[in-house]
Amino acid sequence: MPSVSVIIPTRNRPLLVQRAIECALQQTFRQLEVVVVVDGPDPESERVLSALAATESRVRVVVNRQNVGLAESRNIGVRHAKGRWMAFLDDDDEWFPDKIEKQLAAAEGLNSDSVLVVTRYLERRPEGDRVWPENLPAGVERLSEYMFLRRGMLIPSTFLVSRALMLRVPFTPGLRYVEDVDWLLRFGAEPEAKIAAVEEACVMYYNLPNPSRESVIAPWRVSYDWSRRNRALFTDKSFAFFQAKVITTKAREAGASLRELGGIYLTSVRMGCFSPHAAFYFVVSAIVPCELKRKVRECFVRRARAARVPLRNDSVRVDSASANRCEEEG
């Protein structure tokens, strides 16, 4: 029986998902299985994956009868999994070979089934690579403030979670665009929740321009309405910052009116709190283009510049063909 089940949801990305499966099978920790969930009818991916599963006993393929979305596809993978630990891998990301080994070592000392182990990741961007996040979470208390005040961007491809926890706290079925944030905040609300972190970057995250990516096309009102319904998952400060930094930025990019932007700010004060710092972020998000904000931040924040690092030579193979494939498909 495998100790770790790698859950890879995919749809219409036969080349990328093969790359993801390859890096999972190349882990230094060998006692694992790979559960690929094809989200809805996808003949080309099904053909490629069936051939792969026929030659590799550690790969299993589950095909959803209809498209159910990323959140429920991950849940389906967990329900089919056999391992004690669940490791999530998006089909357009890659792992370094020692990722699972390092995470299991970090989880051993906690002796709990309510554990989330995360790692830093190497973010590939057009302007250069960087290791992120700068600060790792020290605990689950005020996890929302870590995420929205301290820029603690955690991505699912870094998650190692017990199967017992995932069955108790699944991703919210049908939820799109904010399913990762939703899960993290609900995990943080668990009474026995514990979090551990690997200091080293163990994941390659391709954050390359892609107009079809859900995070780009996501309607801002979906995230806005979700945050209002789930206000209890935030602290006062984190709710205000989420509205100021995340919702306002998305709304502005979508062409929201001044009246709509003002409504977002009023929500941040009424349902969160007034903070001069959050108010500043609101004004900046409502006026300054994202690209200019990034350039200014990286010019004046020394730590952001210092976080840029070259690729690890001993880890993920990233050649030009692979990068081009990622841009085309992901």
Neighbours of 268 (CB within 10 A): 27
> Do the Cβ atoms of 26 and 34 come closer than 8 Å?
no
State residue 208's pLDDT score. 81
pLDDT of 75 > 50? The answer is yes
**Mean pLDDT, range 67-80, rounded to an integer:** 97
Peptide bond into 133 cis (omega under 30): yes
**Mean pLDDT, range 202-214, rounded to an integer:** 78
Among 27-31, 279-283, 288-292, the minimum mean pLDDT is found in: 288-292
What are the boundaries of each domain within the chain? 4-208, 219-287
CATH T-level fold of 4-208: Spore Coat Polysaccharide Biosynthesis Protein SpsA; Chain A (3.90.550)
Neighbours of 85 (CB within 10 A): 26
Q: How far is CA 63 from CA 55, 144, 321, in A?
A: 18, 34, 28
pTM: 0.88
Residue 184: beta bridge partners?
A: none
Of 173, 200, 172, give the one whose Cα is nearest residue 184. 172
d(CA 253, CA 262): 15
| Residue in the block written with tokens 């370094």 | 96
Average pLDDT, the chain: 88
Q: Which residues of 226-257 are buried (b: 16+ CB within 10 A; e: fewer)?
A: bbeebeebbbebbbbbbbbbbbbbbbbeeebe
State residue 127's pLDDT score. 80
d(CA 324, CA 208): 10
